[in-house]
Amino acid sequence: MTQYARELLQGLKSAVGEELVSAILAADQTDAAGIEEQRRHIAELRKRLNSIADPTASALDAVAEYLIKRSVWIVGGDGWAYDIGYGGLDHVLASGRNVNILVLDTGGHSNTGGQASKATPRGAVAKFSAGGKPTRKKGLARMAMDYEQV
């Protein structure tokens, strides 16, 4: 969608204004200030698009948000990240996509009554592991760093 929005914007360069189009296309969105500036550019773009009677302007207005860099967050518990969902998490890490991952590590599968998970510390006693956990905790962060883009 981002590429589509960029193409529509290029096509409307003369109607929108070359200076604004250039600012949007060349925007440095590597930090919060740059992203905020791009949001202001897109707000101005939308104002200008409202005064253009062209179906392309309406199409661009519908996808203009894609010109702003998005922050994607994946949030889950340790049961998901370390155990049942690890295959999917591994796939996302290997994809090279720009995502942020937050694992809420309670040290056990909280939704099923607290049995031990791969996030449970060694020796911990949980409802379903009365003898304690015999192995050490899985090093999820260390494993993620095996991917060069992490």
DSSP-derived 3-state class of residue 16: helix
4-50 pLDDT, tens digit per residue, is 999 999 999 999 999 999 999 999 998 999 999 999 999 999 999 99
pLDDT at 98 over 80: yes
Read off the pLDDT of residues 47-75 as tens digits, 9 standing for 90 and up.
999 999 999 999 999 999 999 998 889 99
58 neighbors 91 (Cβ within 8 angstroms): no
pLDDT at 27: 95
The whole-model pTM stands at 0.59
Question: How do 73-77 and 100-104 pair as beta strands?
Answer: parallel
